[in-house]
Amino acid sequence: MLITPTLALSDKEQVLIFAAASTKNALDAVIKDYSTQNEIKILPVYASSATLAKQIELGAPADIFLSANVPWVDHLIEKGIIQATNTKPILRNKLVLITNDQTLPKIKDVRSIDFSILLRNERVAMGMVSSVPAGIYSKQALVYLNQWDAISKQVVQADNVRTALQYLISESVNFGIVYASDAYLFPELKVLSVFDDFTHDPIIYPASLINPSSLEADLFFKYLVRHETLKFFEEYGFLTVSGG
């Protein structure tokens, strides 16, 4: 559930950024670095890109939107809420199959996996396949590999990718499909295999400046998308759009 903070009218030097849950650790580091150099308060709100986009469409006072996929940004552009000229793709990600069972061997080629045999009676967690980007990509990959129909009833759908991870950490499920950057944060979970990029739509994170009339928001947006700042995200397992 998304809780939008209450903004004081006098708090002009506060920038509100709505960001995909998968960016939390990296973006927190970016905000901390920015705050050491500027007195402007950067206030992040994390949730699934779908939830955030719907909140923005309903009038939530976000200044910047960092989405985990392009379609939700395109939706807001079509609604006239975001200008395409104020949007820049900055990050990429990989999709991985993970488990909390460290005894299982890694699988080099995800195409060789029979998921019904691998899962047996166990369940697999992922984002909601109808709206959460990580879930959308996960279903696309499983459909491409002709595995979705066989295991769809064993899928546990979460409201965002971090919730899916918590299902594994709490051992509510034994398998999950998440971003590589999320798996990077939890060494107690094991990456069994990496999905090939061609099995799903490109995982692109666009950053959008929603409120260009705010000098503070404009300054932070320019800081966020610069090459030097994106190195923070690389340290947390992300890839940049221009880099490898």
pLDDT higher for 10 or 177? 177
Average pLDDT, the chain: 92
**Residue 243 reports pLDDT greater than 90:** no
Number of Cβ within 10 Å of residue 24's Cβ equals 17
pLDDT mean over 57-82: 96
Domain ranges in the chain are 14-92+204-240, 95-199
| φ, ψ (nearest 5 deg) of residue 17 | -115, 125
CB 96 within 8 A of CB 165: no
Domain 14-92+204-240 and domain 95-199, same fold? Reply is yes
- Per-residue pLDDT band at 39 (split at 50, 70, 90): confident
Q: Which helix (H) or strand (E) holds 55?
A: helix 49-57
How confident is residue 230, by pLDDT bands cut at 50, 70 and 90? Answer: very high
Tens digit of each residue's pLDDT (9 = 90 or more) over 168-203 = 999 999 999 999 999 999 989 999 999 999 999 999
Query: Topology of domain 14-92+204-240, per CATH?
Result: D-Maltodextrin-Binding Protein; domain 2 (3.40.190)
Q: What digits encode the pLDDT tens for the residues 100-144?
A: 999 999 999 999 999 999 999 999 999 999 999 999 999 999 999
Which residues, in sequence order, are bridge partners of residue 64? 17, 209
Give the start-end residues of each E strand in the chain: 14-20, 41-47, 64-66, 87-92, 95-99, 124-127, 155-158, 175-179, 190-194, 204-209, 239-240
Predicted model pTM: 0.87
Residue 8 scores a pLDDT above 50: no
Say whether pLDDT at 89 is over 50.
yes
Pick the CATH number of 95-199 from 3.40.50.300, 3.30.110.30, 3.40.190.10, 3.40.50.720: 3.40.190.10
**CA pseudo-torsion sign 42, 90, 62, 177:** negative
